Amino acid sequence: MDFWPLITRLGDSSLLAPVAAFVFCWLLYRGETAKAGLWAMLFGFSTALVVASKLAFMGWGIGISELNFTGISGHSMMAGAVLPTLAAQLFASRRASLAAAALAAGMAVLVGVSRLAINVHSPAEVYAGLTLGLGTSALFLGATRASLPAFQPALLLLVIALGVGQTATGVRAPTHQMLERIAAHLADRDRPFQRGQWAGQPDV
């Protein structure tokens, strides 16, 4: 299996959206209500920005043609937000948690690079996604001082098994196609804008 397509799957919403929900539920289960609420707010806000940027282009052709920017990279944002947050809860020690989060941030950058390598995003879109995602995890870990309840071994094995299964099977969430349909409906268009088309230009 090619390296970059395998890496890019680590940022797919079919894997990381459930993981983000798992982090929220785990914090609630451990009685960390305020931290769970903060995570939901930060992750939800970042996700909303990604969706809004994509709908703006798909529906109305709003983007930055000079940068070939058609929306924030969702894979890059998801990886940057979720992977460091998840990794920080692998260890009870704060120092070990921060080291794990830093390594996971490096993996998130690799996910961003993979989006460029397989030619599905422009550099501007990946930079925006990584900035938003890594900013989300950094804000969360900074606000909580990375003092988070460590996962129990059984739960950790479950998360790892789900991740391995997702990357091995290649199951992907149809989020892009769904957003295209929503954008076309909201903008009352027969079809959504595609990369290379911009507002004010004729459809091709």
Query: Is residue 11 included in any domain, yes or no?
Result: no
Within 30-144, where are the H helices? 33-60, 74-87, 94-117, 123-143
Q: What is the pLDDT of residues 29-58, one digit of tens each?
A: 999 999 999 999 999 999 999 999 999 999
Query: Is residue 137 included in any domain, yes or no?
Result: yes
Query: Is residue 59 included in any domain, yes or no?
Result: yes
Count of structural domains, the chain: 1
Taking the C-alpha atoms of residue 6 and residue 111, their distance in angstroms, rounded to an integer, is 9
Residue 168: which domain range? Answer: 16-186
Query: Is residue 119 included in any domain, yes or no?
Result: yes
Query: Is residue 194 included in any domain, yes or no?
Result: no
Query: Is residue 7 included in any domain, yes or no?
Result: no
Whose structure tokens read 């995602």? 133
- Cα 34 to chain centroid distance, Å, stands at 22
Query: Is residue 169 included in any domain, yes or no?
Result: yes
Query: Is residue 121 included in any domain, yes or no?
Result: yes
pTM above threshold 0.85? yes
Q: What is the pLDDT of residues 109-146, one digit of tens each?
A: 999 999 999 999 999 999 999 999 999 999 999 999 98
Helix/strand/coil for 69: strand
CB 173 within 8 A of CB 12: yes
Nearest CA to 86 among 19, 29, 169, 27?
Answer: 19
